[in-house]
Amino acid sequence: MKSFVSSLILALLLLSSCSSDDSKIKKALESSISAELVQGYELQEYMVLETILDINVKDSIVQYRSTLMSNEFLIQSDSTKLKPILANMEDCKKERARTFYSLRSTYDRLIRDYEKMHDDIMLKIQEKEEENKMLDSKIKKLEGVLESLTSPVVYYKVKHIYDLNGMRKEEIVTLDSNYKFISSEQ
């Protein structure tokens, strides 16, 4: 009899916990609708598509750091390519100044080719540096998220299907671990 009562109590606790989570999700989904439009809002259904855990975030941080390191290596490698290109370009400019007028066009083409190589490498370096800045900000954001966690769940991705003034709408909503609305995408 004790076993039956304890099982019943456990089942009731689980049900109340599920209904509590259900109501929190519904409330968060409704909060994703702007205040002016909430009058015509009616939830049809929702489905939790993905639960993003802290381990997923840690894996992303490791992946971003790995990309950062490879970008740094590529930047150093490209930077070392610049020295001989600049030296060759300067040599061509000196030789152009000392050569006959009829041969100068050959040096002009070589100088243009070296300038193009220099510009291409500088562009690659700049793109990698910009990517590194973006990755660095992502890492800091994710580390901040991990520091403020109270559970292993970081985010929920929820498919939100609803009617708004008679029109059926569907979107993917991101909720935090406390079922607070973060963002939505169509």
Average pLDDT of the residues of the chain: 85
**2-54+151-185 belongs to CATH 3.10.450:** yes
pLDDT per position as a tens digit, 69-80: 999 999 999 999
pLDDT of amino acid 3: 56
Stretch(es) of the chain classified as CATH 3.10.450: 2-54+151-185
d(CA 161, CA 171): 7
Closest CA to 155 of 55, 83, 63, 80: 55
Give residues with Cβ within 8 angstroms of 151, minimum separation 6.
177
d(CA 38, CA 32): 9
What is the CATH code for 55-147?
A: 1.10.287
Quote the pTM value: 0.67
Stretch(es) of the chain classified as CATH 1.10.287: 55-147
pLDDT of amino acid 109: 93
Residue 1 has pLDDT above 80, yes or no: no
pLDDT per position as a tens digit, 108-157: 999 999 999 999 999 999 999 999 999 999 999 989 888 888 888 888 99
Closest CA to 162 of 7, 20, 9, 26: 26
What are the DSSP E strand ranges found in 15-80? 41-53
